[in-house]
Amino acid sequence: MGGAGRQRRATLADVAGRAGVHPSLVSRVLRNDPSGFASSETRERIRTAAKELGYRANEAARGLRSSRTMALGLLLPGFSSPVYSAIAHGVEERADQRDYGLVIGTHAAGDPHEVITEMVMRGRVDALLVASGRIEDQALRQLVRRIPESLVLVNRQVRGVAASVVLRDSDAAAVAVRHLAELGHRRIGGVFGPRTLDTMVRRRHGFVEECTKAGVEPVVTEVDGRDHGAGFQGALRLLDAGEPPSAVVAATFPMAVGMLSAFHERGLAVPDRMSVVSIHDDGLADYLVPRLTTVMLPAAKLGAEAVDLALSLVDGGAPRRVVVPDAPRLIPRSSTARV
Amino acid sequence: MGGAGRQRRATLADVAGRAGVHPSLVSRVLRNDPSGFASSETRERIRTAAKELGYRANEAARGLRSSRTMALGLLLPGFSSPVYSAIAHGVEERADQRDYGLVIGTHAAGDPHEVITEMVMRGRVDALLVASGRIEDQALRQLVRRIPESLVLVNRQVRGVAASVVLRDSDAAAVAVRHLAELGHRRIGGVFGPRTLDTMVRRRHGFVEECTKAGVEPVVTEVDGRDHGAGFQGALRLLDAGEPPSAVVAATFPMAVGMLSAFHERGLAVPDRMSVVSIHDDGLADYLVPRLTTVMLPAAKLGAEAVDLALSLVDGGAPRRVVVPDAPRLIPRSSTARV
């Protein structure tokens, strides 16, 4: 290889030379700094020179000057869950629209609390979005005391952390129950992850409340996780606990996939003998056997709203709790049927 | 909220004051800069002071000084594919081990070529890992001419781009064919994505070659994509093209999921009338109906190797083509059976 075909990047001095002005003026004009007084002709000349030379301000230098890194951090437990993928997608898109870079960290390497503290304390990011259920409430409260103006919780609410964005989880569960009640189901199972996760608390609350409203008997099962395996376990537990219900709401999409697998293993045909609805939709839903009925929640919007809230904090705005207003929407497919 | 409980971050000057030395010495000692001559007592005093004050070097400042950002860029088409998720996981983990930050970009916002050029040209990252099949070869060759010392292709090889890391794709397809041939299948279908993707070319080559070796008739079908829908379409095309084979190899995991769905829709029982093997494994495999036989390829290792190669380029090393040596491994489950 070697540097044969390589073009040297244009510097501030190159632009200044071409425009016939001092480099500091170039910098100020290109940043739209009001202290960079110059005639409109001079401004135009500088901009043209920068454009012709393909000059781009060095972000790291710009970061130091304004004491902003122009980057946001996003902490995720990983990329495997479809909801986290959708959140990451939404965050990335909005950060880009607002001209911010994004540093995504996962729990891959060791203690999550350590990872996030590092990201902020080493000055790599201006604000941190935490979209993880794995960090304990207490650890988050400690962290927010150290960086009160730059922490936003995504898909989570914790007492003592004032900036957060969540979805209408409770309403989503209610939509699922209403659909099943309308199909004539009178006993409905609900398989939820641990109550330490506030999304689970809200979904469970909406589930039980709507069952009560609809005059339906709720059969709640709590499992340890939220993935395929947790759903599989939850379904077996539901079947082994006595007379099984005729329909079930899964608290997450992967849990619903695990439940389909468990019902198949026990010879319980879906939807003939068991209807299944998942909270959250996914592209996979159309390719499962049977195709999975879901309740769609706007996970990507969650990411966008979180970016907006974080940047308002960076600009000195007050932290607040945001609920993405979009109503959860039923997507009926083949996993639900009349009782 | 407010700043009530907030601690001011310790500065270099704070550490210097506590240790009784000049700030520049603190900086050099903490960076292990050989020009920072100091007695071992002084070094120890500086390190203790830094530790007691919780001082952390500001990465942006360090970046400017050494003209390194200490960050890598990773360009992905998105987070939805399990292979991309695994690559991202591997990259993140290794970058962290090597004390590098990671900026993950996706094609979310507009033209991918524009996105990657921005990431490098604006000085946000020291090197760029491109794990995307969507950018055209020609665009990559143009880019590598501008940044020859800082571009690594992940899971892809392109003529004119010297630094890349790939898996043993051809061998993976051969492992799948061998498994099916051993089960007595004499006509084996292969559904592959477009030949513009070199992973697809290699898998297809390994498939056809191993079929020939095993005395099996290969039935190749090419589809436009690599996702669930592409697999679904490919399976239907295979069934409609005449006498269908008794077994099929899917070029990707999502394609295999789509194919299971298509075979179910056509009433073709898997594995009784059709065996299915996927190239690449995924946690979902155990929860599909039936459980999916796969060939495991180390996608996370791909990410780690790419980070190592990128950092060797940053240090002035020569670009090279790496093939992750791990042999593909069959994971037999319930979607394959004797003919």
Q: Closest Cα of chain B to A144: distance in Å? A: 9
Whether B127 and B73 have beta carbons less than 8 Å apart is answered as yes
Residue A34, pLDDT above cutoff 60: no
- Taking residues A157-183, report their average pLDDT: 96
| Cβ distance of A80 and B82 shorter than 8 Å | yes
| Cβ distance of A261 and B288 shorter than 8 Å | yes
Contacts B104 to A, Cβ<8 Å: 88, 92, 102-104
pLDDT grade for A64, boundaries at 50, 70 and 90: very low
| Cβ distance of B286 and A79 shorter than 8 Å | no
| Cβ distance of B89 and A102 shorter than 8 Å | no
Q: What is the pLDDT of residue A123?
A: 66
| Cβ distance of B109 and A102 shorter than 8 Å | no
Please give the residue that has the higher pLDDT: either B54 or B200.
B200
Judged by DSSP in three states, A148 sits in coil
Whether A225 and A192 have beta carbons less than 8 Å apart is answered as no
Q: Residue B181: how many CA atoms within 13 Å on its side-chain side? A: 18
Backbone φ, ψ for residue B301 (5° rounding): -65, -30
Question: Exposed, middle or buried, B176 (CB in 10 Å: 0-12/13-18/19+)?
Answer: buried
Which residue is closest to A61 within chain B, CA to CA? B64
| Cβ distance of A288 and B85 shorter than 8 Å | no
Q: Which of A56, A70, A287 to mutate to test the interface with B (most CBs of B within 10 A)?
A: A287
Backbone φ, ψ for residue A329 (5° rounding): -130, 130
Length of chain A: 339
Judged by DSSP in three states, A328 sits in coil
Which residue is closest to B109 within chain A, CA to CA? A93
Per-residue tokens: B317: 């090393």
Q: What is the pLDDT of residue A2?
A: 35
pLDDT grade for A45, boundaries at 50, 70 and 90: confident
Q: What is the pLDDT of residue A169?
A: 98
Residue B54, pLDDT above cutoff 90: no
CA distance B127 to B144: 11
Which residue is closest to A230 within chain B, CA to CA? B287
| Cβ distance of B2 and A287 shorter than 8 Å | no
Give per-residue pLDDT as tens, B93-129.
Answer: 888 788 787 777 766 545 556 666 666 666 667 889 9
**B121 closest CB neighbour out of A56, A60, A106:** A56
**B289 closest CB neighbour out of A2, A264, A283:** A264
| Cβ distance of A9 and B121 shorter than 8 Å | yes
Sheet of A321-323, strand order? A321-323, A164-166, A151-154, A127-130, A71-76, A101-106, B101-106, B71-76, B127-130, B151-154, B164-166, B321-323
| Cβ distance of A1 and B319 shorter than 8 Å | yes
Q: What is the pLDDT of residue A145?
A: 81
CA distance A52 to A30: 14
Q: What is the pLDDT of residue B63?
A: 43
Question: Exposed, middle or buried, B8 (CB in 10 Å: 0-12/13-18/19+)?
Answer: exposed
Q: What is the pLDDT of residue B67?
A: 62
| Cβ distance of B289 and A289 shorter than 8 Å | yes
Q: What is the pLDDT of residue A30?
A: 74
Please give the residue that has the higher pLDDT: either B161 or B80.
B161
ipTM exceeding 0.90, yes/no? no
Contacts B61 to A, Cβ<8 Å: 64, 123
Query: What are the helix and strand counts (H, E) for chain A?
Result: 12, 12
For residue B20, the tally of other CB atoms under 10 A from its CB is: 10
Q: Which of B12, B104, B147, B278 to mutate to test the interface with A (most CBs of A within 10 A)?
A: B104
Whether A307 and A95 have beta carbons less than 8 Å apart is answered as yes
Q: What is the pLDDT of residue A120?
A: 66
Cβ-Cβ contacts under 8 Å between A and B: the total is 179
What are B127's strand-pairing partners?
B72
**B109 closest CB neighbour out of A56, A93, A121:** A93
Give per-residue pLDDT as tens, A66-120.
Answer: 567 777 888 887 766 778 888 888 898 888 788 787 777 766 545 556 666 666 6
| Cβ distance of A59 and B7 shorter than 8 Å | no
pLDDT grade for A137, boundaries at 50, 70 and 90: confident
Sign of the Cα torsion B326, B328, B332, B338 reads: negative
| Cβ distance of A93 and B102 shorter than 8 Å | no
| Cβ distance of A148 and B232 shorter than 8 Å | no
Q: What is the pLDDT of residue B100?
A: 82
- Taking residues B149-155, report their average pLDDT: 90
Whether B11 and B19 have beta carbons less than 8 Å apart is answered as no
Q: What is the pLDDT of residue A204?
A: 98
Q: What is the pLDDT of residue A99?
A: 79
Q: Mean pLDDT across chain A, nearest whole number?
A: 85
Q: Which of A104, A145, A153, A158 to mutate to test the interface with B (most CBs of B within 10 A)?
A: A104
CA distance A152 to A321: 9
Contacts B124 to A, Cβ<8 Å: 59-60, 71, 101
CA distance B150 to B120: 9
Which residue is closest to B147 within chain A, CA to CA? A6
Nearest Cα to Cα of residue B339 among B227, B248, B208: B248
- Residues of chain B above pLDDT 90, percent: 53
CA distance B309 to B158: 16
Residue A165, pLDDT above cutoff 80: yes
User: What are the C-alpha distances in Å from B275 to residues A13, A257, B101, B191, B296?
Assistant: 66, 22, 44, 13, 17
pLDDT grade for A7, boundaries at 50, 70 and 90: very low
Per-residue tokens: B30: 């903490």
| Cβ distance of B124 and A78 shorter than 8 Å | no
DSSP 8-state assignment for residue B328: P
Per-residue tokens: B56: 């952390």
Q: Mean pLDDT across chain B, nearest whole number?
A: 85
**B93 closest CB neighbour out of A96, A109, A264:** A109
Residue B216, pLDDT above cutoff 90: yes
Q: What is the pLDDT of residue A118?
A: 65
Q: Closest Cα of chain A to B200: distance in Å? A: 22
pLDDT grade for A194, boundaries at 50, 70 and 90: very high
Domains of chain B, start order: 12-57 (1.10.260), 69-166+299-323 (3.40.50.2300), 169-296 (3.40.50.2300)
Q: What is the pLDDT of residue B50?
A: 83
Q: What is the pLDDT of residue A5?
A: 35
Please give the residue that has the higher pLDDT: either A136 or B78.
A136
The DSSP bridge pattern shows strands B247-250 and B127-130 to be unpaired
